[in-house]
Amino acid sequence: MHLSAVLGSALLDKAGEKLGRVEDLIVRLADGGYPPVTGLKVRIGGRDLFVPVAQIATLTPGAARLSGQKLSLGRFERRAGEVLLREDVLGRKLVDVEAEPPSLVSAHEIELASIDGWWRVVGVDASPSAQLRRTLPRALRRLIADRPFLDWTDLEPFVGHVPSARLRFSHRKLANLHPAEIADLVEAASHAEGEEIIEAVRQDRELEADVFEELDEHHQLEFIRERPDQQVAAVISRMAPDDAVDLIGEIDQERRMRILALLPAVHRKQIEALLGYNPSTAGGLMSVELISMRGDATASAALETVRASPIAAGALVYVYVCDEESHLLGAVPAVALIRSEPDAAMADLIEHEPVSVDTDADLPEVARTMTDYNLMALPVIDEERRLVGVVTVDDVLELTLPAGWRRRYGVASD
């Protein structure tokens, strides 16, 4: 049964006499399954009233019949955890987390089904025909053929304007997406919808920072513009230093200084050092998150350092070997460490002379060097050949791919 077939229906008493009309259906969202209808918002004599599901005998297209004579005349008030299908969901955007890639869809129609003796929300029709059917007079709606609908359990609802409802929903399905997929959804959404998506992932502070790293510059600035400095600093403190520099470098000078002052000392020092490099050079592209060992350190000691490191696994492609003054001696692939004898010296595991670029190397030189030597990460050295950072292949690809490359396939389905 379509939600639109119920909205505006007559509310009948037990004898079949009309008392009023159905304004909305009320459900409670849960972390899984199909949300049950828990009651009706009805209008009787100019008043909005709540009718609990226990007082409804039947709910059919065109009519809702009461099971008894008594009806509370207290005005309708939304209770904690309640979601109104018409007001909160119908016509709004949801995320289809099972689509490839995950996409934003509009709830042009909400589908209900009788399960275990009562109505539940089972899906959403995002097709334009559903939107047309909803706007037609009731007598003409049957002329629009039904289309396959999206299963509710594959969707992530957003009802951010209803705080009590949001608190009742964990958004676990959204959190299971890759940060880049969530960022794509934010960029494809309106500002208000994007705010709701970011608000949903804010329960996981690390995920929130990962999403901010994946957003383009325009959207990063858009979503920090109205946030207080302390909240912006909290997000930046969890971002990788090279990504944090890209963001904070776009903030006006006065606010930048306030935010830097709120960062942890170590993170602030790393960011201030990176801000000193030209953004289009290896120094401006590099990350300072790396692992370096002395040449006399053992492979087992290097592996222990890798295990204890908070650096993302994808960035730990190499362990670098340096002397006492941090001069780069070479790099050892992480796979070579795993294959080596535990007591092997790091200096003996270096396969060839170190490949590196200076901090002032431009993007073409960085890309050419990484291509020539088939490197996933390229060490960056200063004038005294000291290791100061590393450029990873994803940073190079991001700058060499065409602008708006993520939008090539799109994530909105309207």
CA nearest neighbour of 161 among 110, 202, 198, 196: 196
For the residues of 246-304, what is the DSSP string, one character each? HHHTTS-HHHHHHHHHHS-HHHHHHHHHHHTS-TTBHHHH-B----EEETTSBHHHHHH
83 & 139 share domain: yes
State the pTM of this model: 0.73
Rounded-to-10 torsion of CA 130, 132, 133, 136 = 160
Instruction: Give the mean model confidence (pLDDT) for residues 7-24.
Output: 93
pLDDT one-digit tens code per residue, 366-412:
999 999 999 999 999 999 999 999 999 988 988 887 666 655 445 55
287 within some domain: no
180 & 134 share domain: no
Q: Residue 332 and residue 374: Cα distance in Å, rounded?
A: 14
411 within some domain: no
46 & 134 share domain: yes
134 & 174 share domain: no
147 & 219 share domain: no
- Residue with structure tokens 């709910």? 59
Other CB atoms within 10 A of residue 216 CB? 16
256 & 323 share domain: no
Q: What's the number of domains the chain is made of?
A: 3
Percent of the chain exceeding pLDDT 90 equals 51
316 within some domain: yes
158 within some domain: no
213 within some domain: yes
Q: Provide the CATH number for the domain around residue 395.
A: 3.10.580.10
Taking the mean position of all CA atoms in its chain, how far away is CA 52?
36
344 & 372 share domain: yes
130 & 10 share domain: yes
284 within some domain: no
Query: Which residue range(s) make up the domain with 388?
Result: 292-399
148 & 7 share domain: yes
119 & 218 share domain: no
Q: Provide the CATH number for the domain around residue 222.
A: 1.25.60.10
13 & 115 share domain: yes
Q: Residue 165: which pLDDT band, with cuts at 50, 70 and 90?
A: very low
What is the structure's pLDDT at 340?
Answer: 95
Give the end of a domain, one of 220, 248, 276.
Answer: 276
Give the end of a domain, one of 152, 183, 204.
Answer: 152
Is the pLDDT reported for residue 39 higher than 50?
Answer: yes
269 & 237 share domain: yes
pLDDT one-digit tens code per residue, 206-234:
899 999 999 988 999 999 988 999 999 99
